[in-house]
């Protein structure tokens, strides 16, 4: 049976990444030259996979949109496809987990607070949030409708290919952990570098599986543990 997958790809390196700033509020910083090169490399990596990419969906953040365009262009070129073959669309709800009062801070205390909150998000701690920021249920609440819609399209037309969602590291790891029931301790240790991705299969023999029962197909640093 043909199956199509959901690929959650982190954006390329930004100027805020380079300065170690907690930049979560859209539109956010743009990609550096390194980040643009990472997007190109990401597209080439996806082109080496079996099957095909039917579309790329991106968060509203500037860095995600720039990454999506770079990935699409590189993928099309590597596959010998006309420019614009792989459509790119922006969807609300796929942006990074808000860090509230820690926004654009890069000091040790801010990073420590973020890591503590992130650990809680993965473990399903409803109290885990930075003041003024989001909890994990807030993030799932805006991601699940979009991913559910994509999952249904994968079920309905598996032969059309996979869907790439360009999003953000904290959000991808949080959502993937809860979508696939990943061990939160392993997920916490499984860093997702710029333009790396988590590949999920949300579809089973009887249709789209319930959220929480999706399969992890690919997550490099998780697999290496």
pLDDT in tens, 20-41: 999 999 999 999 999 999 999 9
Q: Is the distance from CB of 136 to CB of 128 less than 8 angstroms?
A: yes
pLDDT in tens, 105-151: 999 999 999 999 999 999 999 999 999 999 999 999 999 999 999 99
The tokens describing 97, both together, are 């987990």
Q: How far apart are CA 31 and CA 35, in angstroms?
A: 5
Query: Which residues 6+ apart lie within 8 Å of 87 measured at CB?
Result: 55, 56
CATH of domain 6-170+182-223: 3.40.50.1240
The answer to pTM > 0.85 is yes
Instruction: Identify which of 127, 59, 69 has the alpha carbon closest to the alpha carbon of residue 93.
Output: 59
Return phi, psi of residue 128, to 5°.
-80, 110
Q: What is the CA radius of gyration of the chain?
A: 17
């Amino acid at each position: 049976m043909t199956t199509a997958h959901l690929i959650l790809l982190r954006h390329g390196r930004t100027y805020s990444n380079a300065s170690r700033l907690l930049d979560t509020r859209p539109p956010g910083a743009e990609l550096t030259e390194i980040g643009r090169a990472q997007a190109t490399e990401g597209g080439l990596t996806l082109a080496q996979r079996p099957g095909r990419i039917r579309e790329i969906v991106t968060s509203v953040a500037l860095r995600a949109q720039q990454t999506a365009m770079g990935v699409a262009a590189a993928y099309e070129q590597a596959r010998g496809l006309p420019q614009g073959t792989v459509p790119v669309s922006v969807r609300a709800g796929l942006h990074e987990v808000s860090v509230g009062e820690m926004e654009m801070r890069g000091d040790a205390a801010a990073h420590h607070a973020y890591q503590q909150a992130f650990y809680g998000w993965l473990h399903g701690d409803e109290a885990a949030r930075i003041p003024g920021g989001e909890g994990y249920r807030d993030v799932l609440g805006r991601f699940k409708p979009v991913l559910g819609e994509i999952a249904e399209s994968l079920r309905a037309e598996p032969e059309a290919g996979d869907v790439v969602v360009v999003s953000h590291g904290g959000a991808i790891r949080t959502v993937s952990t809860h979508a696939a029931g990943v061990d939160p301790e392993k997920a916490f240790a499984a860093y997702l570098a710029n333009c790396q991705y988590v590949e999920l299969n949300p579809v089973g023999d009887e249709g789209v599986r319930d959220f929480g029962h999706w399969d992890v197909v690919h997550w490099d640093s998780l697999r290496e543990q």
